[in-house]
Amino acid sequence: MGDVVGESKVDFGAPAVLYKWPSLANQRREDSAPYQVIEGTLDECISAFTAKPATTRHLYEIRTAAQPPLVTEVLSPEHIIELSRWREFL
Residues 61-90 have pLDDT tens digits of: 999 999 999 999 999 999 999 999 988 787
Long-range contacts of 49-58 (CB under 8 A, 24+ apart): 49/18, 49/77, 49/80, 49/84, 50/80, 50/81, 50/84, 55/26, 56/23, 56/26, 57/81, 58/28
Based on the structure, what is the number of domains in the chain? 1
Residue 3 has pLDDT above 80, yes or no: no
Question: pTM to 2 decimals?
Answer: 0.88
Residue 11 has pLDDT above 90, yes or no: yes
What range defines the domain where residue 57 resides? 4-86
